[in-house]
A and B are shown apart, each in its own frame.
Chain A
Amino acid sequence: MRGTTRTVAVAGVSALALLTAACSSSDNNSSSTTSGGSTSSGSSSGNPSAAAGGEISIAGCTPQNPFIPAMTNETCGGDMLEPVLARLVHYNSETAAPELDLAQSIETKDNQTFTVTLKKGQKFSDGTEVKAANFVKAWNWNRAGKNGTLNSYFFDVIDGAADMDCGLVKDKDGNEAPDCEKKPAKTEELSGLKVVDDYTFTIKTTEKVSNLLVRLGYSAFAPLPDSFFADNGKAYGKAPIGAGPYVMQSYDPATGAVLAKNPSYTGAFAGKVDKITFKIYQDTEAAYKDVMANATDMLAGLPDSALQGEKYKTDLPDRNAEKPTGVIQTITFAPEKVDPSLKNPDLRKAISMSIDRDTIIKTILANTRTAATGWVSPIVDGYKADQCGEYCKFDPAKAKEMFTTAGGYSGTLTLGYNADAPHKAWTEAVCNSVKESLGVECKATPYADFATFRTLITDRKMKGMFRTGWQMDYPSIENFLAPIYGTGAGSNDGDYSSAKFDGLLKEAAAAADPAAANAKYQEAEAQLAVDFPSIPMWYGKTIAGWSENVENVKITPFGTIDLLSVTKKA
């Protein structure tokens, strides 16, 4: 199965530069938005000579959830929903820089209170106008505990989010679970959102945020039409209504979805083709053969058989592309209180240096990853290369020396992974690499499935080392640091805590200037190379192929195919 979490794009242009650009740019209805010096726009890229129109098809997979923005966080459903939605901000399909879409401007003076002004006359595909209340009501619904949405955590940044959670009730097994019937939430409205007038609303965040604009481009922040609230999204989940460039004409879980151009779309990010058909495949192998035979036009994420020996380059000459994505694989060390045996950062660095990343990527992962040189994906705004330095480079001699100086390790190192996804081969290879370089026993330990594996980690019962992955929520350096390594953060599996790191994050969030914010975040990342809470392994990469019928196929920083720039070959 291909990647899972829906992700949001990288900020090529930093938030504040954009905010100021937005204030000064009075006409955002033109086809190209001026955003912080970036000249490209989602719709103007591509070959102008190619004829617009036509029908194309793309390989898809079965959506796991209803088509509700706050319920869709995996690629299968997300790919189909994405072109239907419009948000305040649109991510540039090449750089992931946020560009204003439904918003006329988003202004702030203190990084905590934001005033959003909407463009007038923007319409949902059902004909109703997009107003401020559509955003506020949507976000309230998305965050409300009783709706149990998957993407509710995106709204945690808005003031009053904590009051939206239902109370915890112990069940008969003694597990605590939220129960909205017995202990309803304090409120169903976020106190940080205020409608000023039809086209203006304000957002107050819980603390200072320097990259709110980048976050607002995620699908979960899309406005919902009034009809959504009539039946709590039941009908909407089957036939979503957005303000985006395409409308969902039909959807059948067995066969796929058909998207047609939204005739009333007036925004700046229109698509080129008239109709996009998503064909659902059980197996990418079959999809790949269809692409080879020109029966399906595009496929992102090629099957293993095509990747081995780069066979796809001969099968689809000049019809393939690759791009890194906002995914990082790491190996995390168990918290000190659970397993103190590896608390010495030098031991951790020695283990990291003993892993031959390049060979593992080449021989086991068929070149579908890029070796990591730090803790942040290279596609996000604020990325700085080589933050991990020599500790992420394979050097068995130095590793051995460092390992011995740091006192070595007696016993067997363990590396936990969930066996329901293809992690066996690479974890074993990592262990072999460690064993050969350091002369210490290492065992890759499987756990039955992801849930069991994660439960052991979150209950702090997993010892030794274990695999951890992160797929960005939105394209910012901050998203690779704060949620994973901030003290007490939700995904801080190793209980990493550094006053210096936390302080730098705080300074960055309050920084007035995006460059200053990034510099602070980079400083914080450098601290990780000192304390080494986890070993960076590699970044994700998407490889796509297409048929002879289409042109201008590009991969977005999110690893999907940019459906707005594709054209049909004349």
Chain B
Amino acid sequence: MTKYVIRRLLQMIPVVIGSTFLIFAMVFALPGDPLRGKCGERPCPPAFVAEFRAQHNLDDPLFLRYFKYLGDLLHGDLGTTYQGLNILDELQKRYVVTVKLAVIAMLFEALIGVLAGVLAGIRKGKFIDNLVLVTTLVVISIPTFVIGSVSQTVFGVKLHWFPVTVKSNPGWYDLLLPGLVLGSLSLAYAARLTRTNLAENLRADYVRTAVAKGLSRSRVIGVHTLRNSLIPVVTFLGADFGGLLGGAIITERIFNIRGVGGYIFQSIHSRDGTAVVGAVTMLVIVYLLMNLIVDLLYGVLDPRISHD
């Protein structure tokens, strides 16, 4: 187990270096002018352009710039944005918010999603099953920005139950509505995955054996069937959590949340390559760690999957 974890961690190093280089090369190959919007409707003064390009190494060849960047990265320095802000500081501030938001969304989709899935699975074909299927279908077919804007207008502007937008240092309650909106789509998927797997496993031989042995219904479903059925759900939720930690651009925009997604969006928009690479490198690492955790969880859910 420990050996497996160490091996996986070591494997991450080349993946991180490789992916940062790819991102670096791609981001700086994007067309567009990093000075856009800086000088309004007129071209920037040549002295300003020269100073700006020199300051951000924009005239160096790609490889040289990448090595300069990698060198700084090893010192824990993610560089500065075109606005002269420290990227690491900016990301830290935003990660606090994004993690909170992701946790709310995750709890919501995992708890409610699995519960709805179990109810639908054990009462297949009954009213509750149809109800879950129809509601999840509705949620899946409505785009997030519609759910977001509508719930913001109804619960925020009209009913005053929740703040309309999220303040600068949000508490858990501030992020509740955006978290629910964010989790709603994945909730639908989680419910459907759980239902299908549970319904299928309930017909398996080992379940019949367990029932024949005289085990209680709750034990048969809760311990024998559900645990097995959760493996694909955990895979999905793990990947989803990784995605949530990468920020949620649409939800963040609607509720004006200062999260990682909006940061990346803004940085791409202003062609701020260094900021994009820094943020995405962080995301790659988060994603790799999430994957490792999911793989370790498999072993817990199904002892047949061993990491030794």
Contact = CB atoms under 8 A, between A and B. Distances in A.
Interface of A: 1, 3-6, 62-66, 73-74, 145-150, 152-153, 165-166, 168, 171, 177-180, 237, 252-256, 279-283, 285-287, 289-290, 292-293, 295-296, 420, 448-452, 454, 458, 469-471, 491
Nearest to A181: B54
A4 B41 contact: yes
Given A64-B83, A65-B83, A254-B258, A165 B47 contact: yes
Contact of A281 (B36, B48, B256): B256
A150 B48 contact: yes
Contacts of A3: 40
A171 B38 contact: no
B254 A293 contact: no
Nearest to A295: B164
A62 B37 CA distance: 12
A287 B36 contact: no
A448 B32 contact: yes
B52 A148 contact: yes
A152 B42 CA distance: 13
B59 interface: yes
Interface string B28-43: 0001110111111111
B50 A177 contact: yes
A293 B156 contact: yes
Which size class do B's interface residues fall under?
Answer: 35 or more
B163 A286 contact: no
Interface of B: 31-33, 35-52, 59, 83-85, 90, 93-94, 149, 152-153, 156-157, 160, 163-165, 168-169, 252-256, 258, 262, 265-266, 270
B160 to A, nearest CB: 7
A145 B47 contact: yes
A4 B40 contact: yes
Contacts of B37: 1, 4, 64, 74
A379 B163 CA distance: 39
Nearest to A305: B149
Nearest to B82: A64
Contact of B40 (A149, A168, A471): A471
Nearest to B36: A450
A471 B41 contact: yes
30 contacts: A4-B41, A62-B83, A74-B37, A149-B45, A150-B44, A153-B45, A165-B47, A168-B46, A171-B59, A179-B50, A253-B83, A253-B85, A255-B258, A282-B252, A282-B262, A286-B253, A286-B254, A286-B255, A289-B165, A290-B165, A293-B156, A293-B157, A293-B164, A295-B164, A420-B36, A449-B36, A452-B33, A458-B43, A470-B41, A471-B40
Contacts of A171: 59
A178 B46 contact: yes
Contacts of A1: 37
Given A4-B40, A253-B83, A255-B258, A451 B35 contact: yes
A256 B165 contact: no
Contacts of A452: 31, 33
B253 to A, nearest CB: 5
Nearest to B81: A253
Contacts of A65: 38, 83
A145 B258 CA distance: 37
A146 B54 CA distance: 12
Contact of B165 (A145, A295, A458): A295
Nearest to A152: B45
B39 A283 contact: no
Nearest to B46: A178
